[in-house]
Structure 1
Amino acid sequence: MVFKKLIKELGLNISEEQISEIMGHLQQRYPDGEDPWGLNLKQAESTLKVVWPLYKHYFKTRIFGQENVADEPYIIISNHSGQIAIDGMLISTAFASEIKPPRILRSMVDRFFTALPWIATAAAGGGAVLGDRQNGHNLLTRGQSILAFPEGVTGVAKSTKDYYELQKFTHGFLRMALSTRTKILPLAVVGCEEIFPWVYQAKGLSKFLGTPALPISPLYLPLPSPVDIHIGQPIELPEGLSADAPDREIEVYVQQVKKEIQYLIEQGLQKRRPFFANQKGNI
């Protein structure tokens, strides 16, 4: 309540006109207002209102490549960064508020995340789903777009020395794209690594404690690093490639997607705005 009051007094809220336009489009896209995976448009609207000031004013998010997004379902594939998955929140907000027409991305989240009672319920209301292939397949066949991070936890939980280095990609997203004949939309987020600029991942202790990651840092408050989202051109996979193809055949196209995202990252790093944490000697 204090946060909402402060945001209102500072004039940082999303405008009523904008929220009305967005929700009008979303109600047409999701006429039932909810679905079997927990989506709830009222919850999604509340979440957007809370997240918007962070998206627009704290992280000053910019988006490039909107012209590459058509009104059709995609498997959106992104690098993972930010230690606490802030990137997914910002990408989802961008597609709900700045991509035309607005849409709710179905973010594929780790099973560990779904075990967090209050957070998991709120996230599901905003569109998040457990990241398994069957969920993804069912959503895509319903014409919805999903957001996936093939690096998984290893992507978001990196030490400072590994920032902006893509980790190993899993194959599930590509098999989903093949089984549903859905285009892959490559995307890169630049700026989220600097939100926590000095981090050491205690992997040994994390494994001992049974946690997905254990970041050690002199600060745990996300810094207001400016964030840029770069959207590449859609990737269509060969008609003759089967979703059941051997891993070695799938890996060729996984690497193609990974290479495109790496290119977007490199281009984005050249355009990123000045912030003390990304100056020479830091990241």
Structure 2
Amino acid sequence: MAVKTPLSRDSNPLSEEQALREHINRALATEPPSGLEEQLIYRFSKFWFRPELHNVHRLPDKPCLFIGNHALFGLDGFVILPVLLQEYGRFLRPMGDKFLFAQPRVAKTLIRRGATMGHPDVARALMAHDQDILVFPGGAHEAVKPSRERYQLQWKERLGFIRLAAEFGYTIVPFGLVGPDEFYEYLLDSEQIVKLLKQTGFWSDNMRPDAIPPLLRGVFGTPMPRPQASYLSFGEPLELPRPTQRAPGKKKLQAWRSIVAERIDSEIADMLLRREQSRHELSIFRRIANV
């Protein structure tokens, strides 16, 4: 029996392997978004989130694997992607959890915007075609982290992104992003909601804790994100050696991952300081809206 996958059609279900191949083909055929829609997204991001970029001179003039801290609800994409595309010509391909592609219409929109499913074969295909890739190793868990863990990496023991970069000799660009974690105020975090669901008997064993969103409040109590200024800084790239017949061992992969994490933490610390130093530059509206 064919297995229904995120890209399956009810009328003609695809096997898991077929769906993955179709997803890869669609991803490789995707061109950088342009036109009025893209301009509106870019203009809104520039006005509302006021992205401030630092150390852009560190960006290598070749395809890279961009690795950073994941923001609340994955809203970092609204800051990173438009400005890098419009101002620097870098079309980053963000990789997301497979559950984001569960509905065909949503999947089509995400792919059209450049997003792809976080699968090793998808990453290999993108690297083989010299694409800029954006990966948040913390995944969905980091995107719904409680407020006390803001700007803390949630990578656990994951080595996949390092292993794939080493396989292709891809350069890794670490970055730190400050701002999007405060786009919303927490009313209940995901841990509290999961606990409440378990206490009331609404929790099921097939539910994923990292897929339970927190209860949030935006600007003036609305669903609109607060106009929080954002600060993005690129760390020193990690140049991985050219691939050889012998794959690097676990200790080498862990050492490289630690280097990337340390550089991200350093950029986050710098941007938190930069934000504090520039608070006096905020308009009265932004000060009131972010209370």
SS at match of 2:185: coil
The aligned counterpart of 1:120 is: 107
Give me the whole-angstrom Cα distance separating, in 1, the residues matched to 2:80 and 2:245. Answer: 30
Distance 1:143 1:40, change over 3 A: closer
Deviations 1:136-165 (A, max 9, x none): 111112111100001111211111111111
- Aligned AA for 1:86? L
Query: When the two structures are superposed, what TM-score results if normalisation uses the length of structure 1?
Result: 0.76
Which residue does 1:256 correspond to in 2?
259
- 2:235, 2:261 → 1: CA distance? 12
Counterpart CA distance in 2 for 1:133 and 1:146 is 12
| Coordinate RMSD, CA, aligned | 2.9
CA distance in 2, matches of 1:243, 1:57: 49
In structure 2, how many angstroms separate the alpha carbons of the residues matched to 1:246 and 1:95? 34
Cα deviation digits, residues 110-159 of structure 1 (max 9, x gap): 10111133332122012111111111111112111100001111211111
Q: Percent identity?
A: 24
- Identify the residue that residue 168 of structure 2 maps to in structure 1: 180
Q: Which residue of 1 aligns with 2:67?
A: 77
1 CA distance for matches of 2:225 and 2:245?
A: 43
Per-residue deviation at 1:90? 1.8
Please report how far the alpha carbon of residue 215 of structure 1 lies from its aligned counterpart in structure 2 after TM superposition. Answer: 0.2
In 2: Cα distance, 1:235 partner to 1:80 partner: 19
Q: After TM superposition, give the deviation of residue 243 of structure 1 in Å.
A: 7.6
Distance 1:184 1:45 in 2: 30
- SS in structure 2 at match of 1:198: strand
AA at the equivalent of 1:120: A
Name the residue aligned to 1:37: 27
1:131 aligns to 2:130 (yes or no): no
How many Å apart are 1:40 and its aligned residue?
3.9
Q: 2:42·2:83 contact (CA, 8 Å) conserved in 1?
A: no
The answer as to whether partners of 2:58 and 2:236 remain within 8 angstroms in 1 is: yes
1:140 match: 127
Give the C-alpha shift of residue 218 in structure 1: 4.3
Q: TM-score, normalised by structure 2?
A: 0.74
Deviation of 1:202 (Å): 2.9
Offset of 1:42 from its aligned partner?
7.5
1:97 matched to which residue of 2? 86
Q: How far does the alpha carbon of each residue in 1:70-121 deviate from its partner, in whole angstroms, 9 at most, with x for none? A: 321000001001x22110232111220122xx13111111101111333321
Query: What's the CA shift string for 1:47-75, capped at 9, x where partnerless?
Result: 42231122110111111121111321000
The size of the alignment, in residue pairs, is: 244
1:231 is matched with which residue: 231, 234, 238? Answer: 234
Partner of residue 217, structure 1: 216
Q: Secondary structure at the match of 1:106?
A: strand
The residue type equivalent to 1:137 in the other structure is R
User: Of the two, which has the highest radius of gyration?
Assistant: 2
User: Is the counterpart of residue 48 in structure 1 residue 38 in structure 2?
Assistant: yes
For structure 2, list consecutive stretches of 5 or more residues without a partner in the other structure: 1-23
Q: 1:196, 1:222 within 8 Å by CA — same for their partners in 2? A: yes
Counterpart residue number, 2:13: none
Look up the match of 1:9.
none
Q: What is the CA–CA distance in structure 2 between the aligned matches of 1:119 and 1:225, rounded to whole Å? A: 27
Contact 2:169 2:243 in 1 (8 A): no
- Asked if 1:168 corresponds to 2:167, the answer is no
Secondary structure of the residue aligned to 1:51 is helix
CA 38–191 in structure 1, closer or farther in 2 if over 3 Å, else same: same
**What secondary structure is seen at the aligned counterpart in 1 of 2:134?**
strand
1:149 and 2:99 are equivalent in the alignment: no
Question: Residue 265 of structure 2: SS of its match in structure 1?
Answer: helix
Native 8 Å contact 2:236 2:263 kept in 1: no
Give the corresponding residue for 1:10: none
Gaps of at least 5 residues in structure 1 are 1-33
Greater shift, 165-174 or 38-47, is seen at 38-47
**C-alpha distance in 2, partners of 1:143/1:90?**
23
